[in-house]
Structure 1
Amino acid sequence: MPRHDVNDLIAFLAVARERSFTRAAARLGVSQSALSHTVRGLEERLGVRLLTRTTRSVAPTAAGERLLQGVGPRLEEIDAELAALSELRDRPAGSIRITTGEHAAETVLWPALASFLPRYPDIKVELTVDDGFTDIVAERYDAGVRLGEQVAKDMIAVRIAPDFRMVVVGAPSYFKRHERPTRPQDLTQHACVNIRLRTYGSIYAWEFEKRGRAMKVRVDGQLTFNTGSLRMKAVLAGLGLGYFPEQRVRPFIARGQLVQVLDDWCAPFPGFHLYYPSRRLSSPAFSLLVDALRYRG
């Protein structure tokens, strides 16, 4: 294949992924007019329209989508091979992009990175905190972190944390005004601080299990948040019951700031896993990070 065809394909892929000539041009370091000319030349040589252009948006045509899905991963594999070769030096180097949820970022990834990165000054890590199910292949992440039961079967998954448990807690001031719930159904009579996660597309239903019996309860209250820090503030202020990872509330329980309820209904489930595509070509830097994160408990 002529070299200019490869360069033109790279230009097309950038526009198709960014859905914008302006953003793609900035990413490639070329002018918007030059990029438009390059893509138009590729379309003329192939004899098909690859992009649908309007004044507000750019989107791949059916032919463009086929080219994006067929050629894009192959060029990424070539880039990964070249990057891996360039990293075969005395000191591992490279950039690693990871998408993760808030709790895993704070309790698992950050403690590991704080000790890992000083040992490898040429390795860079970018963490994106997102509670939605990001497509790590489409968004070009090297890996993602999710609970074990949420990882797709076609991914390689590495356990990086012990089993996980969600628990229900409330402030002592709240329980001065309300009786403690003794079963999950009682929560419908309580003020609860709700969670909205993009993962579920709606208000999250609190999940419980006891002796093999699973149950979901849709709770109600005056407050709904999509971040854990604000939910915690509301619960500590006595504005309602909260549903949190056990590890996060343990210090507050020890200090008497929170009281745990429904303990016998809060069963553990598989903890956090780092996952990545099975066809990913692991660089020395990525392999070192995976090993540093691996749970050995």
Structure 2
Amino acid sequence: MRREELGDLMAFLVVAEEKSFTKAAARLGTSQSSLSLIIKRLEERLGIRLLTRTTRSLAPTAAGEGLLSTLAPAFGNIEAQLSALTEFRDTPAGSFRITAGQHAIDTILWPKLSRFLADYPDIKVELNAESALTDIVSERFDAGVRLGDQVEKDMIAIRIGPLARMIVVGAPSCFHDRSHPKTPHELSLHRCINLRLPSYGGFYAWEFGRERQEMRVRVGGQVAFNTVPQLIKAALDGFGLAYIHEDVVRRYLDDKRLVQVLDDWSPPFPGYHLYYPSRRHPSPAFILLVEALRHHDAN
């Protein structure tokens, strides 16, 4: 097979995975028009249409799906073998894409990576902030970060952070005419600030637990957000109670700008874990990366 033909097949694979010429062109470092010509050339050479295009969507045809079923594992194996070749380098090297929430990036990943990468200049890391639960295999990420109870069973999971806790907080003004709630059910008597997360298809239900009793509560209020910084600002401004990671608002609790309630209903839970497919053959560089991120409990 000629080099040009191999490149055309790779281009088709990326277009099919991205379902967009624009996104595929950005990933391949070429122009959308050039990529469109490559696909047209491939289809003409094969004498069959591989992609169905409309003004709003792009999807493989039945023939295209058949070709993909062969190309995806083949190119995946090539990439794995190329990655394995780094074992023979004098210094560890590799490029890795990791998807994680912004909170995990800010509090766990970047503090550790900033120290690790300084010692290994040939290791490159791309961090992609996503609030949705991403399929790392289909989206071609090397690893992802989720809370421990969200990691799928067929993944290898490495704990990278301490136990976490979600708590309910509010500005002191929220309690001028209402007493502190004693149970999660009493949140219905208070204004609350909702957070909309793509992974949950709507507003996030507040989760509580005490003495083997678990509870999920839907709350209501005047405002809602899809990002945490705005939620915190609204809580500080007295627009209602908020449900949030304890470490994010610790400084506001310490200076009394926020007050915590329902403490006995807010148990700790498994914190952030790095996860990756169990069938992956880790390269020396990836193993170093994992060890740099691994959490070690303080003695």
Q: Matched residue pairs, number?
A: 294
Query: Corresponding residue for 1:192?
Result: 192
Q: Is the alpha carbon distance of 1:70 and 1:211 closer, same or farther for their aligned partners in structure 2, counting shifts above 3 Å? A: farther
CA drift at 1:29: 3.6
Pairwise CA distance, 1:188: 0.9
| Partners of 1:57 and 1:43 in 2: CA distance | 23
What is the one-letter code of the residue matched to 1:38? R
Which position in structure 1 is the counterpart of 2:140?
Answer: 140
Task: Please tell me whether the aligned partners of residues 166 and 266 of structure 1 are also in contact (alpha carbons under 8 angstroms).
Answer: yes
Which residue of the partner structure matches residue 11 of structure 2?
A: 11
What is the alpha-carbon distance in structure 2 between the residues aligned to residue 67 and residue 215 of structure 1?
48
In the TM superposition, residue 23 of structure 1 has moved relative to its aligned partner by 4.7
Q: Distance in 1 between matches of 2:103 and 2:171?
A: 21
Other-structure match for 1:218:
218
How far 1:183 sits from its partner (Å)? 0.4
Give the Cα separation in 2 of the matches to 1:267 and 1:42.
62
Q: Is the 8 A contact 1:22 1:32 kept in 2?
A: no
1:237 maps to what in 2? 237
CA contact (8 A) 1:95 1:124 kept: yes
Q: Which residue of 1 aligns with 2:271?
A: 271
Give distance in 1, aligned partners of 2:56 and 2:131.
Answer: 29
Q: Deviations over 1:71-108 (max 9, x none)?
A: 31331221121133146322222221111012211111
Counterpart mapping for 1:33-182 below 5 A: 34-41=37-44, 43-44=46-47, 48-86=48-86, 88-182=88-182
Q: Cα distance, 1:13 vs. partner? A: 0.5
Q: Is the 8 A contact 2:12 2:39 kept in 1?
A: no
- Identity of aligned pairs, percent? 56
Distance 1:130 1:21 in 2: 22
Q: Secondary structure at the match of 2:200?
A: coil
- The two structures have a TM-score, normalised by structure 2, of 0.91
> 1:204-256: per-residue Cα shift (whole Å, max 9, x none)?
11011111111111101111111111111111111111111122222221221
Q: Which moved more, 1:56-65 or 1:107-116?
A: 56-65
Structure 1 residue 190: deviation in Å? 0.5
8 Å CA contact retained: 1:196, 1:226 = yes
Q: Evaluate the alpha carbon distance shift between residue 101 and residue 55 of structure 1 in structure 2; reply closer, same or farther with a 3 A threshold.
A: closer
Cα distance change, pair 62–114 in 1 and its aligned pair in 2 (3 A):
same
| CA apart distance, 1:21 | 4.0
Distance 2:160 2:4 in 1: 44
SS in 1 for 2:273: strand
What letter corresponds to residue 166 of structure 1 in structure 2? Answer: M
Query: In the alignment, which residue of structure 2 is the partner of 1:183?
Result: 183
The letter of the residue matching 2:261 is V
Distance verdict in 2 for CA 1:194–1:21, change over 3 Å: closer
Instruction: Give the counterpart letter for 1:60 in structure 2.
Output: P
Partners in 1 of 2:250 and 2:241 — Cα distance?
Answer: 15
Deviation at 1:38, TM superposition (A): 3.2
Gap runs ≥5 in structure 1: none
Compared CA separation, residues 220 and 33, structure 1 to 2 (3 A): closer
Give the aligned partner of residue 294 of structure 1: 294
Q: Structure 2, unaligned stretches of length 5 or more?
A: none
Compute the RMSD of aligned alpha carbons.
Answer: 2.1
